[in-house]
Structure formats: C-alpha cells, structure tokens
Structure 1
Amino acid sequence: MRRAAVLGSPIAHSLSPVLHRAAYADLGLDHWSYDRFDVDEAALPGFIEGLDASWAGLSLTMPLKRAIIPLLDGVSDTAASVEAVNTVVLAEDGRRTGDNTDIPGMIAALRERGVEKVESAAILGAGATASSALAALAEICTGPVTAFVRSSARAGEMRAWGERLGVDVRIADWADAAEALHAPLVIATTPAGTTDALAAAVPDRPGTLFDVLYEPWPTVLATRWSAVGGPLVGGLDLLVHQAVLQVEQMTGCAAAPLAVMRAAGERALAGRPEY
C-alpha cells in the first residue's frame, strides 16, 4: 500500500480526499489510499516523525503551511517565494521535499478561462492566500497590483511581499473596495460573506473575477458577476488544479485526470453520497 493524506485543523471540511481518491480510481492505483487527519502546529512534528515507508505524500492546509518548513529536507523555489508549503513528497530514502501547488494552480485555473496576461489586477484581502495570489500575478501581470486591505499591518505585509516577488503593489483602503471591481482581473481572497456588499457595485462590463471560495458557492459577488456576463473563476477550479499537481508529484503519474477530479468535487459540493 501507498499512503497520502491532507493535514490541518480544522480538516473535516476538506475536499482533498474526494479529489485524490477520484484520481487514484481513474488511474487504477488500487493500492493507494488518501485520508484526512486533524493535526495542529503542536502535533505536527510528532505526526511527521511517525510516518513509515508506506507514505508517499502529504497535503497541508491551515495552519500548517509555514509550520511544516523546518521539518523538511528541502523546499522548492515556488514554496520558498511565499514561505508556504502545501505539498510534501516523501521519497523512499526518507527525504521530505516541500512545494507549493497553489501558485501554479492559480495560474492554470486562470489560463483555463483564457486569462494569460493582464495589464493590472486587484486583490481583495491580505491574508495567506493573497500572498499566493501575488506570486501568481508575478507571472501573468505586467503592471501594478492594487491590494485592498483593512489594516496598516496588512498593508505593510502586502508591500513586503510585493518587493520580495517583484510585483508593483499599491495599497488601498477596504472602504474603497468597490473600485477594485473595475480592474481587468480581480482576485477575492477574503472569508465567506466579506465581499457580499460589493455585489451591487459590479460594473456592466467587468473583467475576470477569481473568487477563491468554493463553499458556499457561488458567492453573492460571483452570482452578480456572472449575471452581467463577467468571466468567473471559482475556488473549486483552484482546488482541482492544485490537486492535479499534487497527485502527479506524489504518484509519479504524468497526467492526473482533471475532468474526473473536478466532477468528483462538484458532486461532493452538491451533497451527493460520494462525499
């Protein structure tokens, strides 16, 4: 048997087992299993040390993306750029290597919707996901990125990430967040409900909205965006694309089944028995 799992706290809501198991079934990997474990920062070192040779990989969610780094033998440049690891590949010789598939997952999700390059962009929020969004924008945005934030501390963090990633980050107050909706690309990284009040301000001809939430979906903002014909990228798109990369890294398979994994995720979110 080969084992993999997603770790985090809380973790019961995670769709990762649904996506990875669907991939294993489609690829004929009958000897592979994928589970979820509620592990916090304090318990993480003990969990990692307890892994045996049957383990092939781990997915990490909050609050472990940074806490895992000191426990690894190596980290990819992508993960190092945002100091966040969401993927660990466990080699047969015991070496633990960390990567971040959120960043290329964001880029792939946007490209799937035809967004290859943008002249400018706006980010709603300034948390951990916003730093990954900045790293993705470093690859596809040729001009400034405006971050709409609530506090001066968050503003400082976003400026620092911009300098580190080579992105021209400009800071705006959350009170003016409606202005973000006129950008060619808007990435919403805030918790559920935070952007609901902005729906009334969606322009008649909006650019692309990338709302990283997948539950509840669609969000109020996404519903309005779609209603006026704006291109929309959702949290499930991100989740599936980053999971595809995880499956490929952990199993060594050349191409994980994107469509199969997305369909499994959609069934799960619809509340069907498969979940």
Structure 2
Amino acid sequence: MRCAVLGDPIAHSLSPVLHRAGYAAAGLDWEYDAVRVPAGGLGPFLDGLTTGWRGLSLTMPLKREALTLTDEVSGRAALVGAANTLVLDEGVLRADNTDLPGAVAAVRERYDGQVRSGAVLGGGATAASTGLALCDLGAHRVTLHARSPERAAEAAEAVRRHPSSPDVLVASLDEAPQADVVVSTVPASAQDAALVARCAEVPVVFEVLYDPWPTPLAASVGGDRVLVGGLDLLVHQAALQFELFTGAEAPLAAMRDAGEAALA
C-alpha cells in the first residue's frame, strides 16, 4: 500500500519518518513519501491516483481545500473546517481530522489537571483544531490572540461550533493571555521577548512547532510549568492516522523514538 504527506513546503516534514517507523514496527511492507502539492493542486493530484493508494496526510495549505474534494467528511473534520487525513477505501475518499484528538492526547500525556480556560496564539486552521481541543479538555472560555480579528474569524467560528457552547473571544496578539493553557501556533520568528513575557504566568504551554526547537516560548518554560511540544502533537496525530490507514494499533513508542532521533 502507498501513503504520503502532501503540502507546500513539504521537505521539512517528519511525517515520513514517523509513519515508516510505524510500518516497520508493525511488520507492514508499506510506502510513505512526501510530495509537494501547492494550493489548488490537491484536486489534480487526487484525480491522478492509481490503485494501491490507501492514505494521505495533509499539511498547509491543503487542509481546508480538501473538504470540497472528498466523498465523505467526518464529524470532527466538519467541526474544525479542515482535514489533515484522507483515507481511500474501495473507491470512496473519506476526509478526517486527527489534529483535534491528537492535540487532546498530547496535552493529557503531559498534564492531568483541570482546563477551565484556554488561549491560542494565531488564527489559522491549527488554531481552530487546538481551540476545539481545549474545549474537549474542558475549557469553557477560549481566546484567540491574532494580529487582526479578521484573520481569526474563521477559526473562532469553528471553536464556537463545539457542542459545549464555549465562550469564544478574539483578542490582539499584544494582549497577555489569561488561561490555564496557552497554545502557540505562531512562527518562532514572531516570538519576541515581549510575547514570551506575556505568557510567563500561564501554567501550561503547548508549542505546536517542532522545528526549530526549542522555540523562544518553549525555552522559557521552567519550574512547575508544563510544556507540551510539537513533536507530542505530531506523534499523536500521526498515530491516529496510522490506525485509520492500517486498521492496526499504532506503535506509538517506535514512532516517537524515530521522530526524536530525526530531530536530534
């Protein structure tokens, strides 16, 4: 069977490392590659697929584009408004989202305390999925901190669709987050000393990036504060994809070890 991760840029992706390690540990003779597909190119790529393809992982800028190109959309992909996973099953193309449950699993692996409120730095598709994950973790209030309210409007609307009916606010990126958990989806280059200082009182920091590592925000976490890293998210969402693709339990430890080795 063939699988791949699609996006643009894509050369930096660790997904091939994780999935190949999973296949090797499970004794599966499967392939997994990285393919550059720019915005607007997903439809032609899907049209050109031949027999033997089973699953596709999607990264930016294809996650929202995918929803209009599939036969079925899972409830969580519809909730987020983006798909990071496509499964080909006997001619039927199904869209799913493992970023949402993967984020929940990543936080719970590091932190078992209450999450009553959350803050997300950024306003894109990852902000939407992690904002919804905060709601799954128990947050009744989620604040999206973005450079402009317009940029975060789509993500805010996605979080408002959560069944718990959370209070969703949009604030400036220059405002200090007041939350139990802060999730950063902004580039490392945007994490200046002022932003890091504004987050200093938040007890749990979830940095979705894994490269470069550590980011300025991740490097600032010490003492009793909890750090959830981008590799945590990547491994958990990839493990869920592995299970959707193969129908087998994911070898999580082998996938994590491969990711850590590649980053080292």
Normalised to the residue count of structure 2, the TM-score between the two structures is 0.93
Distance 1:104 1:87 in 2: 13
Matched, 1:195 2:155: no
Match of 1:256 in 2: 250
2:128–2:156 CA contact under 8 A, matched in 1: no
Structure 1 residues 169 and 25, CA, compared in 2 at 3 Å: closer, same or farther?
same
1:74 aligned partner: 72
Deviation at 1:149, TM superposition (A): 1.7
Deviation (angstroms), 1:173: 1.8
1:132 maps onto 2:129 in alignment:
yes
How many Å separate the matches in 2 of 1:172 and 1:42? 31
Percent identity, please: 52
Match of 1:185 among 170, 181, 184: 181
CA RMSD of aligned residues (A): 1.7
108-117 or 65-74: bigger deviation: 108-117
- How far apart are the structure 1 equivalents of 2:2 and 2:228? 31
256-265 or 134-143, which moves further after superposition?
A: 134-143
Aligned to 1:157: 154
Aligned to 2:12: 13
On the 8 A contact 2:81/2:158 being kept in 1, the answer is no
**Within 5 Å, which residues of 2 pair with 1:81-92?**
81-91=79-89
Give the TM-score normalised by structure 1.
0.89
Corresponding residue for residue 273 of structure 1: none
**1:225 corresponds to which letter in structure 2?**
V
Question: Which of 230, 234, 242 is 1:239 aligned to?
Answer: 234
Unmatched 5+ residue regions in structure 1?
271-275
1:53-72 matches, cutoff 5 A: 53-72=51-70
Aligned to 1:211: 207
2: CA distance between counterparts of 1:45 and 1:152? Answer: 31
Whole-angstrom CA distance in 2 between matches of 1:235 and 1:3: 26
Give the number of the structure whose alpha-carbon radius of gyration is greater: 1
CA contact (8 A) 1:116 1:140 kept: no
**CA separation of 1:83 and 1:161: change in aligned 2, threshold 3 A:** closer
Measure, in 2, the Cα distance between the counterparts of 1:46 and 1:154: 28
CA shift in 2, pair 1:223/1:53, >3 Å: same
Code of the residue aligned with 2:241 in structure 1: it is Q
Question: For 2:124 and 2:70, how far apart are their aligned partners in 1?
Answer: 24
Structure 2: runs of 5+ lacking an equivalent: none
Of 118, 142, 146, the residue aligned with 1:145 is 142
CA contact (8 A) 2:40 2:65 kept: no
Q: 1:119-168 deviations in whole A, cap 9, x for unaligned?
A: 11111111221111121122113421122221131353344233323321
Would the aligned equivalents of 1:158 and 1:169 in 2 still touch at CA under 8 Å? no
CA 65–158 in structure 1, closer or farther in 2 if over 3 Å, else same: closer
- Any conservation in 2 of the 1:88–1:99 contact (CA below 8 Å)? yes
1:63-111 deviations in whole A, cap 9, x for unaligned?
Answer: 11111222211010000011111111111x2111110000000000011
Partner of 1:45: 43
Matched to 2:221, the amino acid is W
Matching residue of 1:26: 25
